[in-house]
Amino acid sequence: MLKQRIITALLMMAVLLPALLADAAWPFVVLMLVMISAAGWEWGRLNGLAMTPSLLLGGAVAVGAGAAMGAGWVQHAPLGLWTLATLVWVLGGTFALRGGVAAWPGHSRLMRLALGALILWMAWLAVAAAKTLGVNFILSLFCLVWAADISAYFGGRALGRRKLAPAISPGKSWEGVYSGMAGVCLLALAWLALDGWLAARGVPASPSLYTLLLSRYGWLGAALVLVFLTAMSVVGDLFESLVKRAAGAKDSSRLLPGHGGVLDRIDALLPVCPIALGLIS
């Protein structure tokens, strides 16, 4: 299993990095479009749709993304869109998690499918918009989520005592959450130091998420925003776990051998990307 995970991870990086580092935006945007469409298919399957309707749902997400790109929303998102995304995740995420696994199937299937399509579409648009802000920005955004996850994993294993949401994700603890927040803050300090070092030597680089947050909110405000974004990454992770448990599934699919499905890999990014875009807009 470990060998399979490593091979799959290397293949994913071999595809992702060239697209991410390309001067043109379209290779990365198209790659993310394929991934978000696959996630739409997984969402349909997790919410009781058969194969063909699930594929149609994934296609609908792709069409919506293409329409947004054609309308120029990647460069200039509609006013209030990121605020809407924040409200959907903060209020809707809280509502879903409070209801728990048993309550999820009781909601209208149409509502569940529409919600999934909406959050996937907003996440794709946010990631595509982040690419236009430069490689430094989008890497700092992705690394925030990865640092939160890694720090939470090791902090939880070493210190975890109080369960966070045992009915949804038994392995997560409050100590892991706090470790994730600390890890993200340390990453931000290191990234800011690197940004300053590059700037002092005249190396051209796009601003990182951390530089933008610091310039807008100051040190204390930026720290609070990072804690909030880390918390939302946990909400995204827990929300996907809730949906999988309600469906009786261990993984969202088997598209990525050793890793599960696309949703399993991007769950924490779904809330963080649009909310982060809103916070720097």
d(CA 152, CA 157): 8
> What pLDDT, on a 0 to 100 scale, did the predictor assign at position 1?
57
How many residues are listed for the chain in this entry?
281
d(CA 30, CA 32): 5
Q: Which two tokens stand for residue 49?
A: 């749709």
- Chain CA centroid to CA 128, Å: 13
N-to-C CA span, the chain: 42
Q: Is 32 exposed, middle or buried (0-12, 13-18, 19+ CB in 10 A)?
A: buried
d(CA 85, CA 79): 12
> What pLDDT, on a 0 to 100 scale, did the predictor assign at position 47?
97
> What is the chain's pLDDT, residue by residue, as a tens digit (281 residues)?
557 777 887 888 888 888 888 888 889 989 999 999 999 999 999 999 999 999 999 999 999 999 999 999 999 999 899 999 999 999 999 999 999 999 999 999 999 999 999 999 999 999 999 999 999 999 999 999 999 999 999 999 999 999 999 999 999 999 999 999 999 999 999 999 999 999 999 888 899 999 999 999 999 999 999 999 999 999 999 999 999 999 999 999 999 888 889 999 999 999 999 999 999 98
d(CA 144, CA 157): 20
> What pLDDT, on a 0 to 100 scale, did the predictor assign at position 183?
97
> What pLDDT, on a 0 to 100 scale, did the predictor assign at position 152?
96
Q: Taking phi first (over 0 means left), then psi (-120 to 50 degrees means alpha), and beta for anything else, what does residue 24 get?
A: beta
> What pLDDT, on a 0 to 100 scale, did the predictor assign at position 25?
84
Q: Where are the beta strands (DSSP E) in the chain?
A: 163-165, 169-173
Distances (CA, A) of 239 to 17, 53, 131: 28, 22, 26
In this prediction the pTM is 0.95
Contact 233, 145 (CB under 8 A): yes
> What pLDDT, on a 0 to 100 scale, did the predictor assign at position 2?
54
Provide the 3-class DSSP secondary structure of residue 76.
coil
Q: Would you list the domain boundaries of the chain? A: 2-280
256 φ/ψ angles, rounded to the nearest 5 degrees: -115, 95
